[in-house]
């Protein structure tokens, strides 16, 4: 082998070793966990809680801002007792 082949082989082996080190399962799992935690916190921040004063029903509303022009909204009725640690907006239905 001449010097050029040795240099190329060294570069290839170094790149392959770098891939194995940077893509370890533990590091990948940690990255996924951090991304999921970020998404979970964002969703929790976007939840809005309401109590209808006429019916005494409580609702949770989630507005998912998919991009600058499209949003989706989800809501559900929840037990008012479960809303002790969050700010609940009081509303009166028609």
- The tens place of each residue's pLDDT in the chain, 94 residues long, gives 577 777 777 777 777 766 655 556 777 788 888 888 888 888 888 889 999 999 889 999 988 877 777 778 888 999 999 888 888 888 887 7
In the beta sheet, which residues pair with residue 59? Answer: 50, 77
Residue 18: exposure state from Cβ atoms within 10 A (0-12, 13-18, ≥19): exposed
Residue 81: exposure state from Cβ atoms within 10 A (0-12, 13-18, ≥19): exposed
Residue 48: exposure state from Cβ atoms within 10 A (0-12, 13-18, ≥19): middle
Instruction: Give this prediction's pTM.
Output: 0.57
């Amino acid at each position: 082998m001449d010097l050029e082949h040795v240099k190329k082989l060294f570069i290839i082996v170094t790149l392959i070793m770098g891939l194995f080190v940077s893509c370890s399962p533990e590091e990948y799992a940690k990255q996924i966990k951090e991304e999921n935690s970020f998404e979970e916190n964002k969703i929790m921040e976007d939840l809005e809680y309401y109590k209808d004063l006429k019916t005494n029903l409580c609702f949770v509303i989630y507005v998912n801002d998919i991009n600058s022009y499209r949003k989706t909204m989800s809501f559900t009725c929840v037990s008012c007792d479960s809303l002790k640690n969050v700010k609940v907006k009081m509303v009166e239905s028609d």
